[in-house]
Structure 1
Amino acid sequence: QFPRFPSNLLVDRSGLLPVYEKGLTLVSEAETLTQLLGANTNPDVATAFLAAITQFWREPENIGELLADVEAERLAAYGPIEPAGSTQSPPTFAVAQEEPVVAAIDTLGQRVAPGAALYHEGQFHLFLNRFDSFPGAVTVHYATSTDGHNWSEAAGEPILTTAAVPFAEVAAVAADVLVEPDGTWVLYFHTWQTYSLVNGAGVIGRATAPGPQGPWTVDPEPLLTMAADPAAWDGGQVSIADVVRTADGYLLYYTGASPAGLMQIGLATSSDGRTWTKYDDPATTAAPYADSDPVVANGSTGAWDSAAAFHAHVVAGPAGFLMLYKTLGTPTPVGFASSPDGVHWQKAEAPLFAADLLPGSSAIGSLSLLAHDGQLWLYSEQFRGSRNRTDIYLLQAPLP
Structure 2
Amino acid sequence: MRTVDLIHKKRNGGELSNEEIGWLIEGYVQGTIPDYQISAWAMAIYFQGMSARETADLTLAMAASGDQVDLSPIPGIKVDKHSTGGVGDTTTLIVAPLVAAAGVPVAKMSGRGLGHTGGTVDKLEAIPGFQVERSTDQFLQQVRDIGIAVVGQSGNLTPADKKLYGLRDVTATVDSIPLIASSIMSKKIASGADRIVLDVKTGKGAFMKTLEDSVALAQAMVAIGTEVGRETVAVITNMDEPLGPSIGNALEVQEALDTLRGEGPAELTQLCLELAAHMVLLGGLAATYERALQQVTELLHSGAALAKFKQFIVAQEGDGAVADEPGRLPQAAYRVAVPAPQDGYIAAIDAESLGVTAMMLGAGRATKEDQIDLAVGLKLTKRVGDRVRAGEPLAELYTNRIDAEETDRIKERTVSAFGFSEQFVEPLKLMYAVVTKDGVQYL
TM-score bin, normalised by smaller chain: under 0.3
Of Structure 1 and Structure 2, the greater strand share is in 1
TM-score, normalising length from structure 2?
Answer: 0.21
Q: Which has the higher contact order (CA 8 A, sep 6+)?
A: 2
